[in-house]
C-alpha cells in the first residue's frame, strides 16, 4: 500500500516534469523567447563591435576630446579667456557673465 503510494507520487512527479518541459517549450515558442534571446545576443555583439570601433576612433582623436574636457573643468571666461573660480558668476577681470 505504502510502496504503491510512493510509486504513484513518483509517476505523478514525472508526468508533471514532462508537462512542465512541454509547456515551457510551448511558451518559449509562442512568445518567441528563444528568437528574442538570439536577437538580443546579435544586438549585443553588434553594439560591442560599435563600441570597439568608437574606442579605436576615440584613441585616434583623444587629444581633441581631452582638450574640450579640460576647458570645461578649468572654466575659462568666454570673453577674455582668463581662468574663473568654479563658483563665480562673473569674470573678475572683465566682468562678463559666466553663463552658468
Ligand atoms: Zn573675462
CA of 99 relative to ligand 1 center, distance in Å: 12
The answer to whether the CB of 93 falls within 8 A of the CB of 80 is yes
CA of 84 relative to ligand 1 center, distance in Å: 8
Residue 96: CB atoms within 10 Å? 14
Residues with CB under 5 A from ligand 1 (ion): 77, 79-80, 91, 93-94, 96
CA distances in angstroms from 96 to 23, 46, 82, listed in the order given? 71, 47, 11
CA of 65 relative to ligand 1 center, distance in Å: 24
Instruction: Write out pLDDT tens, residues 11-36.
Output: 999 999 999 999 999 999 999 999 99
CA of 75 relative to ligand 1 center, distance in Å: 11
CA of 80 relative to ligand 1 center, distance in Å: 4
> Which spans in 1-100 are helix H?
2-30, 33-60, 62-74
Higher-pLDDT residue of 88, 50 = 50
Q: Please state the φ and ψ torsions of residue 47, each to the nearest 5 degrees.
A: -65, -40
Q: For the whole model, what pTM was predicted?
A: 0.43
- Sign of the CA dihedral with 16 first, then 22, 23, and 24 last: positive
Instruction: Write out pLDDT tens, residues 60-87.
Output: 776 555 555 554 556 788 889 888 888 8
Amino acid at each position: 500500500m505504502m510502496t504503491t503510494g510512493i510509486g504513484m507520487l513518483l509517476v505523478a512527479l514525472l508526468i508533471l516534469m514532462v508537462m512542465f518541459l512541454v509547456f515551457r517549450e510551448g511558451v518559449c515558442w509562442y512568445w518567441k523567447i528563444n528568437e528574442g534571446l538570439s536577437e538580443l545576443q546579435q544586438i549585443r555583439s553588434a553594439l560591442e563591435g560599435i563600441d570597439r570601433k568608437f574606442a579605436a576612433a576615440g584613441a585616434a582623436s583623444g587629444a581633441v576630446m581631452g582638450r574640450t574636457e579640460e576647458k570645461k573643468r578649468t572654466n575659462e571666461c568666454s570673453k577674455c579667456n582668463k581662468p574663473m573660480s568654479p563658483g563665480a558668476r562673473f569674470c573678475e577681470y572683465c566682468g562678463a557673465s559666466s553663463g552658468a
